[in-house]
Amino acid sequence: MVRRTSHPLAALTGALLLSGCAHAWFTPTGTTAYAPRPDDCAIEVFTTGAPDRAYEELGILEGESGWLGGTKMSDLLPEMKIEACRAGGDALVVHMSQRYTSGEDDDEMLYSSATVIRWIERQPVR
């Protein structure tokens, strides 16, 4: 019988690799919690201002990417969209995106924040 044991260094290396990926977190600010939508739901993204349709604000979504995860919005946006779907949202209104450096090696990172919104009058699914 072969017995396998995990090595602490392997666990640390795995944690460091995962920490380089994009991640996002949602903080509810609205009074109503909605059922999560599938992770691949359609999320509209507004970067130059609020939409002209009536909507309800569900909360603030923050995201961060860098190191192995890339520092372009296109690297971070998929994870932010997944979290918006999980919050029951229909769209993101992006407030800001900012690059910064972190750590001893001055690794470049990207931070972004957005409001998750849900349309007041939802369009029928076709």
Secondary structure of the chain: what % helix, strand, coil (to 5)?
Answer: 20, 35, 45
Q: What residue ranges do the domains of the chain occupy?
A: 22-119
**pTM (2 d.p.):** 0.76
* Topology adopted by domain 22-119: Translation Initiation Factor IF3 (3.30.110)
CA angle (91 as vertex; 89, 97 as ends), nearest 5: 115
Instruction: Give dist(CA 55, CA 114) in Å, integer.
Output: 14
User: Mean pLDDT throughout 15-28?
Assistant: 70
Instruction: Give dist(CA 73, CA 121) in Å, integer.
Output: 29
The tokens for 27 are 């903080």
> Per residue in 43-70, pLDDT tens?
999 999 899 999 999 999 999 887 655 6
